[in-house]
Amino acid sequence: MFSWAKSALSAVAGTEEPIYGPEAIQPVGKNAGDPSFTELTKEDLKWQALNYTNVETQTFYVNADSGHTGIFQVIYNNIFGARTTVQFNTKIFYPNNEKPFLWSSDPLSNHGFDEGHFSFHADGVSIQLNEDGSAYTVKAAVNNSSLVNVTFTRTAPGFQAGKTGTSNYGTNPKEPWGSMHHHFWPRCKAEGSVITREGEIKIDGQGMFSHALQGMKPHHAAARWNFVNFQSPSYSAILMEFKTPPSYGSTTVCVSGIATDGKLLIAGINGGAKHTETKQDTDNDWPEPTSASYHWEGKTDDGKEVTAELAGSLGTKYDRVDVMAEVPGFIKTIVASAAGTKPYIYQFASKLTIKVKAGDEIKEEEGVLFTEATFIS
């Protein structure tokens, strides 16, 4: 989810921010009168394509029936309003991580949008939203290592937390100097395939879609992130949590939701992630999680209390992304020395059982968890 950081960090000369305090962030869903979430309409799915420094991403996650876990992503990065770079990434983990994952990351040229800004295209890539706003088709032929043709069809409503899905940064809420927006389709059916140099991988299975807009330098916006995409036959449980740097009071912001077929069970800003067991990563001193627990809570439309827990070993680490290794050396030095920034992303995909309590009813179900733990500063 956070590979935007790779391109975004290359746009920064990382000065440290002063301590503004927790008042300088207005977390999503905490404005007076905010609903816990808002269901998305087609209008909400538009690309913003802002003309000042920002990173906008569309990311498609899949847990395929074949056991593959995949990510397809477009990163649209505007640098100082002067230059826009666009990148398409494909990452596919093989079942049980039995062999090295497939990774292609290719810069795109001649990018553009349809008139309504619902669909994206570039040479060799298109991400098309259908007429009724219920399905995206992702096609990519920019890299012969991964020819992508996958359709994600929403099987439950999409949502954003609160009214707007946006957290704002700044001492004057009327004139924020930064922002972070996310919206999701927590539950999708994925259909299609990726053709690699070794053959075709069937991508049919369960999908999830996330659209993020970050109008802020990533290491100023967040010091830590947790991201969860859990898919089981009856449930799709997602959670995104970040903690700001001390400049914004080390404030924790959470967006979470659980969908079932055809509906959102709960969604909003409750819940959270905990690393219950960790080990020191000797390369960077980060406490790499080995076990974790994730928590959801909320109320259904008809007022029923819902809580859900997902906990256990994260299993084999699928990847550790050294974000700075992918940006030029001189920027790395500036960012690291000025801001104590050393971003690493730990990725896991494991089988776990979710326990969902809705009113008096408790249901347990095994599914596949894809999770990222990101440490920035």
Ligand X SMILES: *[C@@H]1O[C@H](CO)[C@@H](O)[C@H](O)[C@H]1NC(C)=O
User: Smallest gap, in angstroms, from Cβ of residue 82 to ligand X?
Assistant: 9
Site string for ligand X, 145-184 (x = CB under 6 A): x---x-----------------------------------
Selection from 32, 33, 22, 36 nearest residue 254 by Cα: 36
**According to CB under 6 A, which residues from 312 to 371 bind ligand X?**
none
Cα separation, 226 vs 288, whole angstroms: 12
What DSSP string describes 109-127?
A: -S-EE-TTS--EEETTEEE
Cα separation, 316 vs 97, whole angstroms: 8
Site string for ligand X, 40-79 (x = CB under 6 A): -----------x----------------------------
C-beta closer to ligand X: residue 50 or 334: 50
Selection from 182, 310, 327, 323 nearest residue 242 by Cα: 182
Distances (CA, A) of 354 to 50, 106, 288: 39, 36, 22
Q: Which of 69, 143, 168, 341 binds ligand X (CB under 6 A)?
A: 143
Say what the alpha-carbon torsion angle 61, 344, 143, 131 is, to the nearest 10 degrees: 30
C-beta closer to ligand X: residue 78 or 256: 78
Tokens 């098309």 sit on residue? 128
**According to CB under 6 A, which residues from 122 to 141 bind ligand X?**
139
| Site membership for ligand X, residue 104 (CB under 6 A) | yes
Cα separation, 111 vs 333, whole angstroms: 32
| Site membership for ligand X, residue 106 (CB under 6 A) | yes
Site string for ligand X, 273-312 (x = CB under 6 A): ----------------------------------------
| Site membership for ligand X, residue 84 (CB under 6 A) | no
Angle in degrees, CA 232, 238, 241, rounded to 5: 150
| Site membership for ligand X, residue 192 (CB under 6 A) | yes
Q: Which residues contact 294 (CB under 8 A, 6 or more apart)?
A: 226, 228, 230, 237, 239, 271, 272, 273, 274, 309, 310, 311
Sign of the CA dihedral running 313, 221, 183, 2: negative
C-beta closer to ligand X: residue 199 or 303: 199
C-beta closer to ligand X: residue 81 or 95: 81
| Site membership for ligand X, residue 109 (CB under 6 A) | no
User: Smallest gap, in angstroms, from Cβ of residue 355 to ligand X?
Assistant: 37
Secondary structure class of 269 (helix, strand, coil): coil
What DSSP string describes 70-86?
A: EEEEEEEEEETTTEEEE
Per CB under 6 A, the segment of 101-109, 211-219, 230-238, 313-321 that binds ligand X is 101-109
C-beta closer to ligand X: residue 55 or 273: 55
DSSP 9: H
C-beta closer to ligand X: residue 52 or 362: 52
User: Smallest gap, in angstroms, from Cβ of residue 150 to ligand X?
Assistant: 8
**According to CB under 6 A, which residues from 224 to 243 bind ligand X?**
none
| Binding stretches for ligand X (CB under 6 A) | 51, 81, 103-104, 106, 139, 143-145, 149, 192
